[in-house]
Amino acid sequence: MSYARFAAMIAVSTVVMFGLMYLNTYAIEHVRFSETRAFMALVMGAAMAVVMLLFMLKMYPDRRVNLAILAGATLVFAGSLALVRSQTTVGDVAYMKAMIPHHSIAVLTSERAQIRDPRVRKLADEIIAAQRREIDEMNALIADLERNPPADAPVLQPSP
């Protein structure tokens, strides 16, 4: 098997994993590009490259290329995980675009779960209302910030 095919397999699988992360959103209009999800797809793709290569070592006999793949996958894994954990590249709009699908998942789960206890149902209904309200607020803020980006908004440091 060729290394180009291996690379294509990993690349396609990583893109597919990125897309699959949106399958549990409540509504298609809640799907937004998320840097965090993209970085997580890279984390998963890098891990998959290592696992697949190690399982198929006999199919890929070039030791130097294998070591390069393992090193590259390790760097992609570490770098992507660092970006996920630090959220360094995620600003105002990117944050909200990532949070809309997240909130949508809460709506889907709260609405469709087989809840029998009235206290839990009440909590789920409150979560649905809050998440929908917050999705609407984020959509409005995104539209406003994309129309009128702040000239010199202060950059706040995250709390520890």
Task: Inform me whether the pLDDT recorded for 54 exceeds 70.
Answer: yes
Would you place residue 110 in the very low, low, confident or very high pLDDT band (cuts 50, 70, 90)?
A: very high
Task: Inform me whether the pLDDT recorded for 154 exceeds 80.
Answer: no
Same domain, yes or no: 40 and 85: yes
CA dihedral over 75, 81, 87, 91, signed as positive or negative: positive
Last residue of a domain, which of 64, 89, 114? 89
The mean pLDDT of 24-50, rounded to a whole number, is 96
159 in any annotated domain: no
Q: Please tell me the total number of residues recorded for the chain in this structure.
A: 160
Task: Inform me whether the pLDDT recorded for 11 exceeds 80.
Answer: yes
155 in any annotated domain: no
Helices (H), the chain: 3-20, 35-55, 63-86, 92-112, 118-147
77 in any annotated domain: yes
Task: Inform me whether the pLDDT recorded for 156 exceeds 60.
Answer: no
The mean pLDDT of 16-42, rounded to a whole number, is 95
pLDDT at 60: 95
Task: Inform me whether the pLDDT recorded for 155 exceeds 60.
Answer: no
Number of domains observed in the structure of the chain: 2
Report d(CA 3, CA 20) in Å as an integer.
25
Same domain, yes or no: 57 and 80: yes
Residue 8 belongs to what domain range?
1-89
